[in-house]
Amino acid sequence: MNNILATLIDILSQPAILVALIALVGLLAQRKNLSDTMKGTTKTFVGFLVIAAGAGILETSLVPFGSMFQEAFNVSGVVPNNEAIVALALNEYGSNTALIMFFGMIVNILIARFTRFKYIFLTGHHTLYMACMLAVIMAVAGFTTVPLIAAGSVALGIIMTLSPAILQPFMRKLTGNNNVALGHFSAVGYALSGLVGKAVKGKESTSTEKIDFPKGLGFLRDSTVSIALTMVVMYFIVALAAGPAYIEGELSDDTNFLVFSLIQAGNFAAGVFIILAGVRLVLAEIVPAFKGISTKLVPNAKPALDVPIVFTYAPNAVLIGFFSSFVGGLFSMIIMAVVGSTIILPGVVPHFFTGAAAGVFGNATGGVKGAVAGAFVNGIIISFLPVFLLPVLGELGFANTTFSDADFGVGGIFFGTLANYAGPMAIVISLIVILVLMAIPFRSKKSA
């Protein structure tokens, strides 16, 4: 049984395998010939591996940046990181996590099939992280064995459906169509960024992609060049503040600290470039393949894909959003220190991925001002939500890390607060009420 669960969690937590299987099912449902089926499935699989490779390069380059920042400014506290907190939790909740993940995906498909919310969440690793958090919260709430798995699975299926649903109006604005959704558990932050973009737009707004650079700086219109040069400046500033002794002794293996910083900045730009190439490859295959599932299995279904799919729509907003979100994290850290609460340090990786996407959505609704303000608000949200999430995580709340993205905070605080103040039955009732509300037909000119 343990071997089966281990294999299951390995398959379902790998986006490349999961999405390739979905593409295969969609192409078979359309009765495509062998050549087209093999091509579409393989290119989808490889495309997601390209995205993963780019994301890995990004994370590898951002980790030393975070270490240098903490050394330079002598700060300590809780660092939100999904991978770290899940690694701790799986030691105790691994079996429940795997079962919640499996049945939660089935609940997601059933909701898409029988309600107006036609979103199938395909970001496997985020599904794993959310399943893990729900396993912890349901256990802390007092659920055991079958009730724990049942409650966690239904909660996961609901979150997997509602997360892309609340963001879809902004996805339509961004992409110009209704073919694809975003499957990334920070939708609350992205939606708020879009709303902030609308609020600050004013009479005229200039897109981040149409910034009028002086003629001599025309090379900055190339997003790869602008990202690389900007990151070089940022790395050098932090490296000089941290000092060569720390960097060469702890991070660079005696490589000159400025040379090390230059290479890491270049790796960051390379990672973004690779991600954008992978996104283009995947979108060219997965959307047509998904029509088979939409037609045969879940009418009008939309694939909810990982966050890098939005980066291609505004590469300049990606960088602006990252910096603005990180500044929001620094601002929040100062406020926490002043009021004496738990200090959440700005994790560079979550601020990049969520801040970048928040910048893209803010730009879509409010141009440059929207990208800056929306991502700044996102930085505040993913800084303060973990403070309120920590108490509902039981023993994990005392770890030096926690879940980072906005939807984890919203979902965890909601179910954890219900459990603490009203008991497990309140969670059961809330799940039933939400499912009933989702099942109520609703007619609109635009699909949900």
State the pLDDT at residue 443: 58
Best CA proximity match to 98, nearest among 110, 86, 83: 86
Best CA proximity match to 382, nearest among 185, 155, 199: 185
Say whether pLDDT at 283 is over 80.
no
State the pLDDT at residue 214: 66
State the pLDDT at residue 447: 46
How sure is the predictor about 259, in pLDDT bands with cuts at 50, 70 and 90?
Answer: very high
Question: How far apart, in whole angstroms, are the C-alpha atoms of residue 417 and residue 142?
Answer: 13
55 φ, ψ (degrees, to nearest 5): -65, -35
State the pLDDT at residue 223: 65
For 201-227, the pLDDT digits (tens) are 877 778 888 877 666 655 656 667 877
Question: How far apart, in whole angstroms, are the C-alpha atoms of residue 432 and residue 23?
Answer: 32
Question: How far apart, in whole angstroms, are the C-alpha atoms of residue 273 and residue 270?
Answer: 5
How sure is the predictor about 448, in pLDDT bands with cuts at 50, 70 and 90?
Answer: very low
- Indicate the average pLDDT of the chain: 86
Say whether pLDDT at 415 is over 80.
yes
Per the structure block, which two tokens stand in for 192?
A: 């708020």
Say whether pLDDT at 86 is over 60.
yes
Per the structure block, which two tokens stand in for 419?
A: 């459990």
Question: How far apart, in whole angstroms, are the C-alpha atoms of residue 180 and residue 175?
Answer: 9
Once rounded to an integer, what is the mean pLDDT over residues 92-100?
Answer: 83
Once rounded to an integer, what is the mean pLDDT over residues 302-318?
Answer: 90
Residues 6 or more apart whose Cβ sits within 8 Å of residue 237? none
In the DSSP assignment, the letter for residue 211 is -
For 136-192, the pLDDT digits (tens) are 999 988 898 899 999 999 999 999 999 999 999 999 999 998 889 999 999 999 999
The region that residue 300 occupies, defined by phi over 0 for left and psi between -120 and 50 for alpha, beta otherwise, is left
Integer angstrom CA distances of residue 120 from 52, 177, 296, 357, 422: 20, 17, 14, 20, 31
Amino acid occupying residue 101:
M
Mean pLDDT is highest, among 9-18, 249-258, 285-294, for 249-258
Instruction: Tell me what percent of the residues of the chain surpass a pLDDT of 90.
Output: 40
How sure is the predictor about 25, in pLDDT bands with cuts at 50, 70 and 90?
Answer: confident
Measured at the CA of 56, the angle between CA 331 and CA 76, to 5 degrees, comes to 35
Say whether pLDDT at 102 is over 70.
yes
Task: Render the burial of 160-172: b for 16+ CB within 10 Å, e for the rest.
Answer: bbbbbbebbebbb
Instruction: Tell me what percent of the residues of the chain surpass a pLDDT of 70.
Output: 91
For 47-70, the pLDDT digits (tens) are 878 877 887 887 788 788 878 888
How sure is the predictor about 445, in pLDDT bands with cuts at 50, 70 and 90?
Answer: very low
In the DSSP assignment, the letter for residue 303 is E
Once rounded to an integer, what is the mean pLDDT over residues 98-106?
Answer: 85
State the pLDDT at residue 206: 85
Do residues 222 and 391 lie in contact, with contact meaning Cβ atoms separated by under 8 Å?
Answer: no
303 φ, ψ (degrees, to nearest 5): -75, 130
Residue holding tokens 């809780």?
78
> Where is pLDDT greater, at 422 or 445?
422
State the pLDDT at residue 1: 61
Say whether pLDDT at 40 is over 80.
yes
